[in-house]
Amino acid sequence: MLQAGNRAVKALKLSLHEPRGTPRGGMRWFGCWVVSLVLSGGCTTAPREPRPARLTAATGEPLAAGLAAVEYDEANRFLAEAERRYPALGDYTLYFRARAAVRAGKPTDALQLAEHLLATNAESVWSGVARLLAGRLVRQKGDLAAARGWLEAARASLPERSLSGGHATLALAEVDHELGDDAAALELARDVRRRMPRRLLARRARRLAERIGASHPELIPWDTVDEAEMRLREGDLAGARAAATTALAGRSSPALAGRALWVRAQAERALGDRETAEATCLHLARQLPADPLAPKALLAAATWRWNADRDQAALELFGQVARRFPASPQAPEALYASGRIHQEAGRYRDAFAAYRGLGDRFPRAPLAAEARWRAGWVRYLAGDFTAAADWFGRVALGTAKGTRVAAEYWQARALARLGRAEKAHERLTHIAAHHATSYYAELAEERLGERTAACEPPAVVPRPSFPTELQGTHAERARVLAGLGFSRFARLEVDALRGTSGVPRRPLLSAYEAVDAPGAALGLAREMRPGSPGALRRYLYPLGYWDTVHETALARGVDPLLVVAVIRQESLFETDAVSPANAHGLMQLLPSTARELTAEAGAAPIPRSALHVPQTNIALGVALLRRLLDRYGGSRARTLAAYNAGEDAVGKWERRYAAREPDEFVELISFRETRDYVKAVTRNYRTYRQLYASSPCATSPGSPPNAPLDMTTTTSPGRAEPTK
């Protein structure tokens, strides 16, 4: 997204190291415990969370000191003191002592500690990884049968898609291979590859499968479509293409041939061989017209042409999709795309026909409501405001709420263009009053002149105490851990409480807040919202990591409420979020973006894992927002569009739509994801101001009765899919 030559950030004062008051070495050590848990013998993973700030090793707190200790005897002494001081955390001290023993080369002691943990704390959140640790230790001793038992128990007790669960499955596969049961080992390795294809574990599982195949080729038909699909998911593009090509050379059934061609086309496209990928898709659609993948492949080829600005060639293929496969899910998508191409070319009559045809022929299609709205939009663009106002009025009477509000707003704009100011004012007032949480209410208030100039966000958000209603072992551990500042560990305990039947959910919301887990509280509030309308707004729109956001944003002249609005849309306040485009952390930053920003600031490069540290991620994300706000003269819409799609894309749209007003510009953004993103973040920002600003930002009476749910997929800066 960020190109060399873009304006440098004037000053990027980043805290790219440990927070103040935190021992440097101790933070790295602690982060390794948090992130890798049982997965490695040494600390190879950088921290994803700061060391506890309230009581650290520097102040003599024994649990933190035990985690920070390098020498085994010192760690053991501190952890034994922690066990004496915090009886509720006995399982923690046992597990950490076991890990310290592993690092000190004392496997017998480590195994005894793990076994003691499981015998005395069966419900511990560490029980699964303790079994995994025991299995590995027993395997090292050469007792493969006992190791298999431990690893089977670990696999059964760990979440299937968790990293530790994947490690247990792969370790079990390796033991089965050593025991000579290669068929079982192969199936377990395939399970790892299916469940977590982009992890390093998947590569290890594939190497194990390849070793098995070298000695038992009859077990692994490398030329199968399944193998090609797995390699594609793993990112082994050349391997996927080769496997698909080999499968096609065999006597595959038509169904398998279609899958193989589809895999090969996707691999070719990702490898940069675009012409060949398009030809493969066209071949699939031509030779296997009855295959369900045929219309999908034809639509893909058309979309690739469209994204390459070969609009007329794309239009031809979109037309083929609609004509040849009228009953397919791709037919309405093709009609929609045809309408967009005609719209961009100024052929508004043809665009209207395509949009209206989609709505009439496919009234239940996902794009039908938007197509009906766009039929009015192209009349507006054509300057036929009378027809546009009439069409928008009809759409507003019979579609879903989101499209209905959009139609009402643009009916008002068309009426204003016709000089019917009183009627337009009436429509805008209705939107502001009755759709107070919507994106279009924001626009309506701007048109009505009802926005005040400034909002004052709260300076401090006190963290609630842990709710007394929650009782039991997990609650007590969470309470102690939260008091010590071990928020990640405390969240594990609240998660365990959440999985316990009969635990009331409202106190769990407060518990997640108390342990500094706003993303978890938000997720739980989403589940509860239908039964608690309006009462969960504070959890649906949290001021997560507010101390950092507030300080960092104000230092750069960015509204802190805009920052949390972006975080909510990007990551739902989950620090560990990673997108398919490889964007990381709260504000979903690409490693390349982070490298450029730190270089511009004259700071040392940071590891990718540092993007999961809230302070670092927020500092970089706010710097990027400041940069974009400066570039676009404070335009929030253009800033958000560039954050999502990149500055080059926004530059193209600015050149194309230079004469358009800001609200029109947003509707004309070519990428659907970016249009939706700008509207969603604006909606988030509006709701945050309504909920938290200490001075009013709008004259709409009262707070919104129900905060909107509006949970769309997270996005990544500069990596929006060019889906027009």
- Residues annotated as catalytic (active site), given as ranges: 570
* DSSP classification of residue 124: -
Tally Cβ neighbours within 10 Å of residue 352.
23
Closest to 295 in 3D by CA, of 258, 267, 247:
258
Amino acid making up residue 5: G
Alpha-carbon gap, residue 640 to 562, rounded angstroms:
10
Q: How far apart are the first and last CA of the chain?
A: 18
Over its C-alpha atoms, the chain yields an Rg (Å, rounded) of 28
Q: Nearest-CA neighbor of 65 among 593, 486, 632?
A: 486
Q: Which contacts (CB < 8 Å, 24+ apart) does range 645-651 have? A: 645/1, 645/669, 645/671, 645/673, 645/674, 645/718, 645/720, 646/1, 646/717, 646/718, 646/719, 646/720, 647/1, 647/2, 647/3, 647/6, 647/718, 648/1, 648/3, 649/674, 649/720
Q: Round to whole Å and give the CA distance between 87 and 586.
A: 35
Dihedral angle at the C-alpha atoms of 709, 710, 714, 716, nearest 10 degrees? -130
- Cα separation, 571 vs 587, in Å, equals 7
**Are the C-beta atoms of residues 245 and 276 closer than 8 Å to each other?**
no
Q: Say if CB 235 and CB 197 are below 8 A apart.
A: yes
d(CA 63, CA 82): 5
Collect contacts of 198-201 with beta carbons under 8 A, ≥24 apart. 198/233, 198/234, 198/235, 199/163, 199/166, 201/163, 201/166, 201/167, 201/170
Contact call for residues 466 and 514 (beta carbons, < 8 A) = yes
- Residue 535 tokens read as 């009462």
Long-range CB contacts (< 8 A, 24+ apart) of 469-477? Answer: 469/504, 469/507, 470/497, 470/503, 470/507, 470/508, 470/511, 472/497, 472/500, 473/88, 473/123, 474/123, 474/125, 474/500, 475/511, 476/88, 477/88, 477/89, 477/92
Residue 413: name the closest of 174, 603, 660 by CA.
660
- Sorted by sequence, the CB contacts under 8 Å of residue 694 that are 6+ apart come out as 456, 457, 458
| Cβ proximity of 62 and 69 under 8 Å | no
Q: Is 215 exposed, middle or buried (0-12, 13-18, 19+ CB in 10 A)?
A: exposed
Residues contacting residue 467 through CB under 8 Å, at least 6 positions apart:
507, 510, 511, 514
SS (HEC) of 268-287: HHHCCCHHHHHHHHHHHHHH
**Residue appearing with tokens 């193989």:** 260
DSSP element (H, E) containing 304: helix 293-307
Taking the C-alpha atoms of residue 68 and residue 465, their distance in angstroms, rounded to an integer, is 27
Distance CA 655, CA 383 (A): 20
Contacts of 581 (CB under 8 A, 6+ apart): 590, 716, 719
